[in-house]
Amino acid sequence: MIKCTRRSALIGSSTTAFSLLAPKQVIAAVESRDSASIAAAETARILRRDLVPGPVVVGSVSLLQRGDQYFVRVRDTDGGEGMALCNPNLMNGAWPIFLTRVAPFFKGKDLRNLEEIQNDLYVWQLNYKWQGLAFWCVHAWMEFAALDLLGKRAGKSVSELLGGPVRSDTGIYYASSNRGNSPEAEIAHLQKLADRAEAKALKFRLGARMRYDDASTARDVALIPLVRRHFGDDMVLYADANSSYDVPLAIRIGRMLEDHGYGFYEEPVKFDHYEELAYVSRKLKVPMAFGEQEVSMRRFRWLIENDIVQIVQPDLLFNGGLIRALRVARMAAAKGIECVPHMSGSGLGSLYVMHFAGACPNTTDYQEYKGKEKVPHEIVGTGKPLSVVDGRVAIPSGPGLGVAFDPDYLRTAVEMTLPAAALDGE
């Protein structure tokens, strides 16, 4: 693991947010070498447009639905096609945003300029006023489909288009979604997860999600040492509190995780309580992991500049896609910090994580893996779906996302539309 140093000059016990610093501290932070290198990393180009013969002009963007599943399809004016599967639980509520605030903007544009298009999209129709998880999720699915098309045109994988490949495969960790069960029951569940494909890393949940009570705390205190004893020192273990704790309990639990050699401690306090996160981070040695809910590049930059986190975790959907996540990773690399993306639910999220790992030098050897998908597909060149073998997943090397969906399955998908009045804009 990359060694991280902690700078405490900008981390006070109560007022740590950048906007609350004294004027001289603000000036020093802005003018520091760290800040300059992080700023350069944030704005450097990600997409290897030189690999793509062009132009690749968008002819149409469609949202397809089959049952509870959604696909973004983008076609260019020469008949090329890119496709991305969406997380159904998220697109089910966000699809009108996609059809009104994202899809129309891409028509007629050359996808080789994807980064510039994304920058312009942010201000088109005042989209910056809509920023948040819903907007950035649909932004991400549009990007995935666009990258799939670009990769097919170039004969390159998405990870190659984004600066890779830096690795051909990666280890995975399984994450338990349980809360409220007994420590013994959770051990049994974690063992089943580990046995699926000889996983070498696991993550489980603490607290009661955004809160805690006596019962959840008793479970946490019992579970942390029990998991370590059961799996031994060779298993990499992570713990996710999902914003459950106040500062005193976050520190108490964190010290238990330190004592038992846990790999990281995720989101111990409320995800938007930055002062509390900074204080807890300063008090603990266990690597602090954070970023699942974050949608602001500026706040990611502040967290990195001020050594608040040792594992930065942009969600590939919530934060807007692979390009934005890799910008976060590059900022983190400028400070010697690792980036391990968060991945939300189904919709081939693990496929997108694999391409991130293939393009990101400063990630760990363990990426989150959710398991089987409902939608029939195969990884190009394998004849098999995305799968784990001996605790590892091969990063798809076929053109684009490297995935092919069952044509019979897609044949009955229908295109979603909105009334014309809803598409007029502002």
> For position 197, what pLDDT does the model report?
84
Is the CB of residue 374 less than 8 Å from the CB of residue 368? no
Please check the confidence at residue 16 and state whether its pLDDT lies above 70: no
Percent of the chain with pLDDT over 70: 91
Local confidence band at 372 (pLDDT 50, 70, 90 cut-offs): confident
Q: What is the mean pLDDT of residues 63-83?
A: 97
- Kindly list the strands in the beta sheet with 414-415, ordered across the sheet, starting from the edge strand earlier in the chain: 81-85, 69-76, 58-66, 414-415
Please check the confidence at residue 17 and state whether its pLDDT lies above 50: no
Is the CB of residue 165 less than 8 Å from the CB of residue 358? yes
List the beta strands (DSSP E) in 117-214. 169-175, 201-205
Q: What is the mean pLDDT of residues 361-382?
A: 91
What CA–CA distance (Å, rounded) separates 175 from 206?
12
Percent of the chain with pLDDT over 90: 85
424, with CB counted inside 10 A (0-12, 13-18, 19+), is exposed
Please check the confidence at residue 30 and state whether its pLDDT lies above 80: no
Identify the helix (H) or strand (E) that includes residue 251.
Answer: helix 247-259
How many residues in total does the chain contain? 426
The fourth-level CATH superfamily of domain 50-155+407-423 is Enolase-like, N-terminal domain (3.30.390.10)
> For position 18, what pLDDT does the model report?
41
CATH number of 160-405: 3.20.20.120
SS3 311: strand
Q: Residue type for 230, please?
A: H
- Domain boundaries defined on the chain: 50-155+407-423, 160-405
Of 301-310, 326-335, 372-381, the range with the lowest mean pLDDT is 372-381
Local confidence band at 31 (pLDDT 50, 70, 90 cut-offs): low
Closest to 320 measured CA to CA, from 111, 65, 117, 59: 117
What CA–CA distance (Å, rounded) separates 420 from 377?
34
pTM: predicted TM-score of the whole model, two decimal places: 0.91
> For position 422, what pLDDT does the model report?
56
Q: What is the mean pLDDT of residues 395-412?
A: 96
Q: What is the mean pLDDT of residues 190-217?
A: 95
- Mean pLDDT for all residues in the chain: 91
Model confidence pLDDT, tens digit, residues 138-194: 999 999 999 999 999 999 999 999 999 999 999 999 999 999 999 999 999 999 999
Please check the confidence at residue 116 and state whether its pLDDT lies above 70: yes
What CA–CA distance (Å, rounded) separates 112 from 47?
8
